[in-house]
Amino acid sequence: MRYFIEIAYNGKNYHGWQRQPNAISVQEVLERTLSTLLREEVSVTGAGRTDTGVHAKQLFAHFDLVSGEIPGDIVFRLNSFLPNDIAVKDLFVVKDDAHARFHATERAYEYRVGLSKNPFKQDFSYIIHAEPNLEKMNAAAKLLLGHQDFQCFSRSNTDVKTYYCDVKTAYWTKKKEELIFKISADRFLRNMVRAVVGTLLEVGSEKTTIAQFKSILSSRDRSEAGPSAPAHGLYLTKISYPKSIRP
């Protein structure tokens, strides 16, 4: 029987979602806890992978269970065993062919930029010392809509077959002393959102013009884009699925 599990986590203490040979990951901790409580070897497949230090407000993964149904209080028990920086939000049965990664129709991310020093947000937002031009960053962000090839924002030497993504939303807002960038698409490339944010911040600080940003998009060259924004300001916020994955 196949199950979907919904989790949230603070990525500060983990080397990303995916299992690593010599470093702790969210996937490893979750698999170990599931295997212990369900008394069989459990392997989970995530909807995607977050980099070291990136947070997730919502991430789904699927796993198969040979023994059949699980206890009704499994969410409570999992949260009791998991460390405080990983939380299980839900767990439910799906069709046998439902896939956490391939059946996702849309993913959304949020990046937070702090405009003043705040000891309570230093691990959860990127603090900068000069407020960038929000209007120019939003003008550049609009160019992401309708664009297809995002190789210029992709990490080099990746194993992807295509750099095409359908970006559905991309915009900045300001809330008190924080700038928030929201972006959603059918898929994202490795390091893409952080590279987009870093380049948009260069537009906002007027190191890069709107025309240059447009040229970067067409270049298909990562070296033309700006530096990646730090991981700790990035959050995976939502993953959407069709209703047809449920039995």
Specify whether domain 2-102 bears CATH 3.30.70.580.
Answer: yes
Predicted pLDDT of residue 71: 87
Tallying the residues shown for the chain, one arrives at 247
Tell me the C-alpha to C-alpha distance, in Å, between residue 46 and each of 26, 37, 145, 231.
10, 19, 27, 19
Specify whether domain 106-238 bears CATH 3.30.70.660.
Answer: yes
Predicted pLDDT of residue 67: 84
CB 107 within 8 A of CB 236: yes
The pTM (predicted TM-score) of the whole model is: 0.95
Two tokens, residue 27: 């996937």
pLDDT in tens, 8-39: 999 999 999 999 999 999 999 999 999 999 99
CA distance 184 to 196: 12
73 is catalytic: no
Same fold? 2-102, 106-238: yes
pLDDT in tens, 183-231: 999 999 999 999 999 999 999 999 999 999 999 999 999 999 999 999 9
Q: Which residues face 181 on adjacent strands?
A: 111, 172
First to last CA, the chain: 11
Domain boundaries, the chain: 2-102, 106-238
